[in-house]
Structure 1
């Protein structure tokens, strides 16, 4: 590490220490924002002191999570966090290079996009009276992609083996990050052709490919489909109404939330729904699911719009509720739980029907 880089990382580390003293209990994500840095940059400053930088190949690192046994898998964006406890049961990798992706099926279910995996760390840290051990993956901007925390019955020997196998030769305290540039999506060139293709969908998974072919931002697609395939509902009451209904009727649902490198999925019933307020800089309104092996934390003051979206399939219409922030980034999606080849449940359609339309 050169002198300038060493000075920068040292200054960042001291600034992080100072903010932790000024705001005890502050989360690393919040501290990074206060310091104008990223989570990954802060972690790098502790290399050699409870932090080990890891390297790929990323598909092999993902597969190695199967050896850990029961863990807690955390995936988040700015407004929503999903946490599942369980093993990485079934990991399937497809494609090569930038197109490589993976599906994880089982108690932990995710869709993984390796093009966004840039750096990872094994982290040992003290929280209150606990020692937390984790593997944390970040994109090139230093934003967290996913975090895997060991639990009481996790295999710590397997964790140590992963660290040794994937340890990077670079254990410096300096980390270079760069922001993502967003390609403008100015489509569709032909609105009618776009909506016609939408009407002819056979599978919900074809929706993303349709957007890509027509170069349409997802939010703009919902605007284009308004009145035909989509309509808006009250953003501030919709998420809690869905969860309260699903909890009281024991209706199994699906919740999708993630970021550019990882999409985590909940499938099943939800039970304990709570609304809490917290925050260092001011009140933050959080909608929570607090079940034994599944937690969701959604920051409701970031939820700006909510849409009901319908997609034709060979089994009939499939209905989702999609939440967006003020910048039109997707926060989360809700579906009624269904299996391939099975029509959507009427109970889910009734939940959606009862949402307050705008």
Structure 2
């Protein structure tokens, strides 16, 4: 195992090259959690970390006094950033909810292995250091991050840090990063029974139990009802949908998940910009209070999915990467008890199917 100081030096060298924290850690062969855990204790590097006491719900509840904070949840391919107040938090059986006006989260605390308070000094000494709370799964992959903003109550934030930091705790230990396993052969399923059960859904939240009951993973389920409730569309459909939603002012819901958190934006989007950088193709939403960064070059499949409900048909755009992992979900903005927005449905109706055009 590498000693802490060589890890710190290698990580800081990678950061100095302009790599983001996750990429810098991967550059030196570590998970982000492991790289930051090496920054506990007294040292001279610009990044410092302190372990947090693992009472996650109480910690998140304490953040309400801090005012607006930046919530960040990401997976390999999409970053979801939302600014707002952590409020209306609750939990049951290690599943938590944040139902604030802006911060809307589903929290799977069973996956929260460790938390760190992270301070990163700014290269410009006249600018304040970055201060954040970062939470990791057992592999050292970030499940959720929370950043102090200029509009936050810094005194309240410092009080939370003082209360929840555990300076005597040892550095958390993480397992080696899990390899991406190729999808195995799809099990034999009674497709007719699955389609019948799909048709009988009365709530979109019945979808996950439906998959579990029939022993299928998400995309397998979509394939089983393709042509009736689902259809594959071109990879460019994600860009087209977001740009048209922005142009038409159609409010959307954007879901992005890690292993331990799903973060949701509900509302209109305004500024949608693609960007090609260092051989990567990013699709960005750059709005006050909401940013989304999606790797278009990671897209492996895009589906339009219709689920029956007591409020009528609910239609989503579901985006998967080239390994079959879910990248993001998009819906028309709605509340329970409300029908789907006609404008949203029209956006998806006009998307080109993969049999009609290029995948990319």
TM-score, normalised on structure 1?
0.90
Correspondence for 1:296: 292
Measured against aligned partners, the alpha-carbon deviations of 1:23-59 in whole angstroms (never above 9, x if no partner) come to: x221111112122210011111111353111121112
Tell me the matched-pair count: 344
- Root-mean-square deviation (CA, aligned residues, Å) is 2.1
**Residue 100 and residue 150 in structure 1: after superposition, are their counterparts in 2 closer, same or farther (change >3 A)?**
same
Distance 1:242 1:274 in 2: 13
CA distance in 2 between partners of 1:285 and 1:113 (Å): 30
1:74 aligns to what?
72
Which residue does 2:357 correspond to in 1?
none
1:242–1:30 Cα change, 3 Å = same
Superposition map of 1:145-294 within 5 A: 145-168=143-166, 170-173=168-171, 175-179=173-177, 187=187, 189-235=189-235, 237-279=236-278, 283-294=279-290
Structure-2 change in CA distance of 1:313 and 1:188 (3 Å): farther
Query: What's the counterpart of residue 319 of structure 1?
Result: 315
CA contact (8 A) 2:83 2:103 kept: yes
Residues 75-102 of structure 1, C-alpha deviation per residue, up to 9 Å, x if partnerless? Answer: 111111111111113212222xxx4332
Residue 22 of structure 2 is matched in structure 1 by 29
Contact 2:22–2:31 (8 Å) recurs in 1 = yes
Mind listing any 5+ residue stretches in structure 2 that lack a counterpart? Answer: 43-47, 355-360
Cα deviation, residue 174, structure 1? 6.2
**What is the 5 A alignment of 1:39-54?**
39-48=32-41, 50-54=48-52
What is the distance in 2 between the residues matched to 1:340 and 1:165? 38
Instruction: Write the deviation string for residues 202-261 of structure 1: whole angstroms up to 9, x where unpaired.
Output: 0011101211222211111111111111110001x1111111111111111111011110
Q: By how many angstroms is 1:196 displaced? A: 1.2
Contact 2:14–2:24 (Cα < 8 Å) also in 1: yes
How many angstroms does 1:184 deviate by?
7.4
Question: Counterparts in 2 of 1:59-70, with a 5 A limit?
Answer: 59-70=57-68
Residues in 1 aligned to 2:264 and 2:271: alpha-carbon distance in whole angstroms = 18
